[in-house]
Amino acid sequence: MVDAANPRTEHLPLADVIVHHAVADAESWTTATLAALPGCQLAAARDRRGWLIAGVDGQRIRVPAPASDGALLAPALRAWLADDRKLAELPATVTVRSGARDIRATLEPADP
């Protein structure tokens, strides 16, 4: 996973997950990122509505605001996809462990 704000832009083409913590239009940013970086399998961006997480195959889900840990959730969702599963098959609530902390997130289908 690489944060889009990372000044080491040479890492972006190597990343399978790229996150951005503040964009005006998450839909446009995720679409452009996935198109520009063919190695990227999942793009996650936070906008005023929460996090939008998009895959190269067009799958998209939203983690609604005030969720603050979409960047931690994105690599877990990439692992889910790597196991030949679909984002639509995720439960409505997921928990990701980060160190000693459990991060619980509610997932919603993204607007078409």
What pTM was computed for the model? 0.88
Predicted pLDDT of residue 31: 96
Contact 2, 15 (CB under 8 A): yes
DSSP secondary structure letter of residue 85: -
pLDDT, one tens digit per residue, over 29-82 is 999 999 999 999 999 999 998 999 999 889 999 998 776 678 888 888 999 999
Predicted pLDDT of residue 27: 95
Contact 70, 44 (CB under 8 A): yes
- Strand 93-98, strand 2-3: pairing: unpaired
Q: Following DSSP, what letter does each residue of 57-104 receive, concatenated? A: TS-EEEEETT---HHHHHHHHHHHHHTT--GGGS-SEEEEEETTEEEE
